[in-house]
Amino acid sequence: MAKRKPRVSLDLDYSPRLPKQKGTPIGCIGSGFIMADCHLPAYRAAGFNPVAIASRTPEHAAAVAERHDLRAYETVDELLSVENIEVIDVAVPPDVQLEVIREIVRHKSHIRGVLAQKPLGMDYAEAKEIVRLCKRGGIVLGVNQNMRYDQSIRACRCLLDRGYLGEPVFASIDMRAIPHWMPWQKRLGWVTLRTMSIHHLDSFRFLFGDPVRVFASVREDPRTSKDFKHADGICLYILEYANGFRASAWDDVWAGPAREGAESDIYIRWRVEGIDGMAKGTIGWPEYPNPTPSTLDFTTNQRPGYWLQPRWREVWFPDAFAGTMAQLLCAIEDDTEPEISGRDNLKTMALVDACYLSVKEHRAVRVSEITRG
């Protein structure tokens, strides 16, 4: 009698786990696009309870408060003094994040958790200090590495966990997209590695674990260089793992002269090849603000002869932002570490710093060179 093939299910586990109690009062620091158009809509849709907002520009905070039915405070200190606020959502530029965290820790008596925007500070050293401050203050720290909650990335993790793809052999991300750069990037001289590539590096870690070393190469983006000088426009990098697995990404933020009159070819595509199967997908983010779900197609030896194509209606921006807050609320509820804890995110920050060192010294860099410092 022929051995039956194991059942392959299209019912993939791509949704975040939500807390049992959704009413925890959340105070928001920062009133830019990512807070107003991503965090707050996602929190409302998930049934979470944001109640207050403050930012360095009080009139911006007041406008976002009116739009999302929050109470606006003139200063961050005033917001942090409200004793019924238990969780703080921090969405500020990375060069001011450490000082904001210091101020939060000074109000630690009633604050149980912090969700910090990526990147976690300016570099690995600042991220390490943020983690130390929160630990010393007894505050649970989660990080908003939201691509881990993109539906296609989370579904791919489910494929790997179920063994549909077998042992991973090679993975790649190919981004040809033109992001909208934030004003703070101009003063910092950053473009891609700490803003876009950090998503891809963290997703590789989420799917495959931690690499041993990385080789990175960059050049300026011709379009952005007309506006401000930067060191990391178009970024290419290769991750080497101890078991022979390799991952690579092309983060092309030039993407051809699509803004200068030529036709455009904009996309983000990813691919994972395993011993027993293969998955490929698209990320819908480049179509924002048009809601475009990411996609996943996969084939496996467990169901030969087919490309399987699960689909969903949720999108990365803004739906995935419910997941990053949910993992923090669940950790507080369960007295555990968040899925994306500050301690875990140190490894992503170290990987980003390793990319910068690789670029500077034109060589492959072991991640341990950053973490042992």
pLDDT at residue 2, as a whole number: 47
pLDDT at residue 195, as a whole number: 95
pLDDT at residue 107, as a whole number: 85
CATH fold match for the domains 25-146 and 151-315+349-366: no
What string of H, E and C letters represents the secondary structure of the chain?
Answer: CCCCCCCCCCCCCCCCCCCCCCCCEEEEECCCHHHHHHHHHHHHHHCCEEEEEECCCHHHHHHHHHHHCCEECCCHHHHHCCCCCCEEEECCCHHHHHHHHHHHHHCCCCCCEEEEECCCCCCHHHHHHHHHHHHHCCCEEEEECHHHHCHHHHHHHHHHHHCCCCCEEEEEEEEECCCCCCHHHHHHCCCCHHHHHHHHHHHHHHHHCCCCEEEEEEECCCCHHHCCCCCCCEEEEEEECCCCCEEEEEEECCCCCCCCCCCCCCEEEEEEEECCEEEEEECCHHHCCCCCCCEEEEEECCCCCCCECCCCCCCCCCCCHHHHHHHHHHHHHHCCCCCCEHHHHHHHHHHHHHHHHHHHHCCCEECHHHHCC
pLDDT at residue 349, as a whole number: 98
Distance CA 63, CA 31 (A): 9
Distance CA 43, CA 54 (A): 17
Structure tokens at 65: 């408060």
pLDDT at residue 47, as a whole number: 98
pTM of the shown model:
0.95
Those residues of the chain that have pLDDT short of 50 are: 1-2
- Is the CATH number of domain 151-315+349-366 3.30.360.10? yes
For Cα atoms 113, 117, 121, give the angle at the middle one, nearest 5 degrees.
Answer: 100
Partner residues linked to 277 by β-bridges? 300
pLDDT at residue 1, as a whole number: 42
Q: What is the CATH topology of the domain spanning 25-146?
A: Rossmann fold (3.40.50)
Q: Where are the domains of the chain?
A: 25-146, 151-315+349-366
Q: Are 268 and 283 in contact (CB under 8 A)?
A: yes
Residues 70-96: tens digit of each pLDDT? 999 999 999 999 999 999 999 999 999
Q: How many CB atoms lie within 10 A of CB 145?
A: 27
